[in-house]
Structure 1
Amino acid sequence: MAKRRRLNPRPSRSSIPESNHDSTTTPPEISEDDTCPVCQLLLYRPVKTGCNHTLCQSCMATWAEVSLSHEMQIVDIDTDIEDQQSHQPFDAAEELEARCPMCRTQTTASLDQVRSQELQTKYPEAYTQRLAEGTPSDPDTTQTLQTLTLHIGNTHQLTTPTQPVDVSDPTPPNRHAWTFFLRPSNPHLLEEVHIHLQPTFRPARVIRTRPPFEVSRLGWGTFTVTAQILLKAGYSWVHAEAQDSPDGAEGGMLGVEWRLDFAGRGSMGRLRVRVR
């Protein structure tokens, strides 16, 4: 009689090692605290405002562009302009005053490097995707924005008339020595400045092609000086009142006005504008 072959017992289900059919891991869900309040995506290159809000650098830059106040602020004529001059490219809202999109407080923002590194470590896949999305290929979107600070004003000194006063002449004597000035934080961006005076002055239009952009006169009364600021080729003003320059450059000219101040030593205003 042939011996019956003994079969090996079927191993129990618990003894079979389970294979991992899904080799990928599910990316962690992005916390609400790590989401930009503007675009509702993972914070990318986060900036922190002075009012303690955090959002994407590009979102703050876009918001600052539409919310930037173009109103001139009067500052002390003795303000040290050199300390305020910056030629750095526009980076989010770095040192640029704009209203926070969350609380509408006038504030500035700066890049939060520590938070950026934390997000890259916490969400490597999502951050890589944001990196790819945040690298624009359109040349129009890669143009560098700069913040240009313009200090505009006039100095003043009361002088003694050098000629005898003609009592029959109703016009007051020219006793006010004044200098109108325009001091940009980056003069290398300017092609020239056209300064328009009252028609009684000769010449009534003065063109300055290099610093100092100023004109000095002796007169008897105040009036409004208009200055047309022309940028060099390839640059344009990011301003609602920008005009095409005489040579046809789109948005290449910006006009500003200043009322001469003969009280004391004069006065000065500060205007922050954007250049692309």
Structure 2
Amino acid sequence: MSQLDLSGASAGNAVVDEIDHDDLCPICRHVLHRPVVTQCNHTLCESCMAEWAEVSVTSQMTIPLDEEPQDFSALNLQAKCPMCRTLTSARRSEEAEERVRERYPEEYNKRDEEYLADEETKDVSVQTLTVYIGNTAKEVRDIGDGRKMYDWEFFVKVSDQSVINEVEVLLHETFKQPRTVKRRAPYSIRREGWGTFTVRANVVLKAGYSWISSDAVDSRYAKRVSLPLEWTLSFEDGGSQARCRLKIKNERRRLR
């Protein structure tokens, strides 16, 4: 337990009461540690920003189809502010850090110790993922009336497949088998057709993981385990894809 959150509410509140409101992290309610300032002008602990800022799905856009998912650093991403949900980014504030170090040296040193200890023993970790969603398309024949038939393949690609339990793909109801569940990569489905429509995909995590996203939904057995995504088929230029920037929480150690 944090030294700033002592058992016994009065003791913990006494410590907090001694700290100026502007020097408290609005997330953990402890003295700011390695403070960062967002573009929307909120100051909070770097670790709180990293854990609770929501990295969101990008809007549908055209990017090279041969670009593959890969890991990236969450520190440089734009994300939704944990406080106001505004899309923002954050930078370290040396001014705020010097202020809290000088005003509350004992408390700040305790935060330093706790931070290092938590990094070694914490049960919860936050992992960043890239998820690509899109489709390829190849013209196969002209069917008249200005329409062309396409051989298309819808796909979902994830930078770390080990955390994925399944991907449920939902096509238009006019297809014979509109629902397909893929339990291992490649998470893709191939069909022929002339009309475009919106494909829905539910990306379901394995037990012990949860999405850090307001779009995530619960299953019967776990919270925020499924993330619904949508993709409108594109037949121009051989297809297209979007890159999603997402975060998941790993609580598997707590299950032991």
TM-score normalised by structure 1 residue count: 0.62
What is the alpha-carbon distance in structure 2 between the residues aligned to residue 96 and residue 71 of structure 1?
12
Q: Structure 1 or 2: larger strand share? A: 2
What is the alpha-carbon distance in structure 2 between the residues aligned to residue 136 and residue 219 of structure 1?
56
Q: Report matched runs for 1:43-192 at 5 Å.
A: 44-46=33-35, 56-61=45-50, 64-65=53-54, 68=55, 70-78=56-64, 81-82=67-68, 85-86=70-71, 93-98=74-79, 108=89, 125-131=106-112, 142-160=123-141, 175-192=149-166
Q: Which residue of 2 aligns with 1:264?
A: 237
Cα deviation for residue 213 of structure 1 reads: 0.7
Identity of aligned residues (%): 39
Report the 3-state secondary structure (helix = DSSP H, G, I; strand = E; otherwise coil) of the residue aligned with 1:264: helix
Q: Which runs of 5+ in 1 are unaligned?
A: 1-31
Q: Could you say which structure has the larger radius of gyration?
A: 1
Q: Deviations over 1:53-98 (max 9, x none)?
A: 9863134236624xx4x3523444316644x52177xxxx523312
Q: Which amino acid aligns with 2:224?
A: G
Q: Which amino acid aligns with 1:266?
A: G
Cα deviation for residue 108 of structure 1 reads: 4.5
Contact 1:151 1:269 in 2 (8 A): yes
Q: Deviations over 1:3-28 (max 9, x none)?
A: xxxxxxxxxxxxxxxxxxxxxxxxxx
What is the alpha-carbon distance in structure 2 between the residues aligned to residue 244 and residue 37 of structure 1?
29
Q: 1:38/1:244 Cα in 2 relative to 1: closer, same or farther (>3 Å)? A: closer
Q: Deviations over 1:135-168 (max 9, x none)?
A: 798xxx852122222211111111126xxx6x8x
Q: Which runs of 5+ in 2 are unaligned?
A: 1-19, 250-256
Q: Structure 1 or 2: larger helix share? A: 2
What is the alpha-carbon distance in structure 2 between the residues aligned to residue 129 and residue 49 of structure 1?
25
What is the alpha-carbon distance in structure 2 between the residues aligned to residue 108 and residue 194 of structure 1?
32
Q: Which amino acid aligns with 1:60?
A: M
Cα deviation for residue 127 of structure 1 reads: 3.1
Q: 1:153/1:111 Cα in 2 relative to 1: closer, same or farther (>3 Å)? A: same
* Higher RCO by CA contacts (8 Å cutoff, separation 6 or greater): 2
Cα deviation for residue 176 of structure 1 reads: 0.9
What is the alpha-carbon distance in structure 2 between the residues aligned to residue 204 and residue 123 of structure 1?
60
Q: Deviations over 1:105-130 (max 9, x none)?
A: 965557799x989x989986443222
What is the alpha-carbon distance in structure 2 between the residues aligned to residue 80 and residue 223 of structure 1?
23
Q: Which residue of 1 aligns with 2:181?
A: 207
Question: What RMSD in Å do the two structures reach over aligned CA positions?
Answer: 4.3
What is the alpha-carbon distance in structure 1 between the residues aligned to residue 224 and residue 82 of structure 2?
27
Q: Which amino acid aligns with 1:273?
A: L
Q: 1:243/1:116 Cα in 2 relative to 1: closer, same or farther (>3 Å)? A: same
Q: Which amino acid aligns with 2:45?
A: C
Q: Which residue of 1 aligns with 2:225?
A: 252
Q: Deviations over 1:204-248 (max 9, x none)?
A: 2111111111111111111111111111011112222322235x2
What is the alpha-carbon distance in structure 2 between the residues aligned to residue 38 and residue 244 of structure 1?
27
